[in-house]
């Protein structure tokens, strides 16, 4: 299966991950979840693989703009997928699906281990 990197093209961390992948794993796909969208099913896969705490970026502008009710609802697995799909910038970036694993964030050493 071809590796897929999910993120937003103007995010600095996503840019670093894309540069690393272009050099080391040129046959990868980039999915911009702001312009290409996300499904609730994909979000649920990530929650299952990573846990909601790892997936949510609590330092993001989106998190800071959430009401207290939204901040509570994001941890309710019945409500989280729809809330995340409606606010994709709440996701820590990038998300990498490769070699049967799902990773969040970017560290060159971590990516090298995935593709070794």
77 is catalytic: no
Beta-strand (E) ranges in 3-113? 4-7, 29-32, 95-98, 101-104
Token pair for 80: 């989280």
Bond before 94 cis per omega within 30 degrees = yes
Return the closest-CA partner of residue 11 out of 95, 83, 110: 95
CA 7, CA 92: separation in Å to the nearest integer? 8
Sign of CA dihedral 50, 54, 60, 62: positive
Which of these is catalytic: 1, 6, 9, 11?
11
Active site residues: 11
């Amino acid at each position: 299966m071809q590796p897929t990197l999910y993120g937003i093209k103007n995010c600095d961390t996503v840019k670093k991950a894309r540069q690393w992948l272009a050099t080391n794993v040129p046959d990868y796909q980039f999915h911009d979840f702001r312009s290409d969208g996300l499904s609730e099913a994909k979000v649920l896969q990530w929650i299952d693989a990573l846990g909601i705490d790892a997936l949510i970026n609590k330092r993001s502008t989106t998190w800071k703009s959430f009401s207290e009710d939204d901040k509570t609802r994001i941890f309710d697995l019945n409500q989280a997928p729809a809330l995340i799909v409606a606010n994709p910038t709440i996701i820590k970036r990038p998300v990498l699906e490769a070699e049967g694993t799902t990773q969040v964030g970017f560290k060159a050493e971590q990516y090298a281990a995935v593709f070794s």
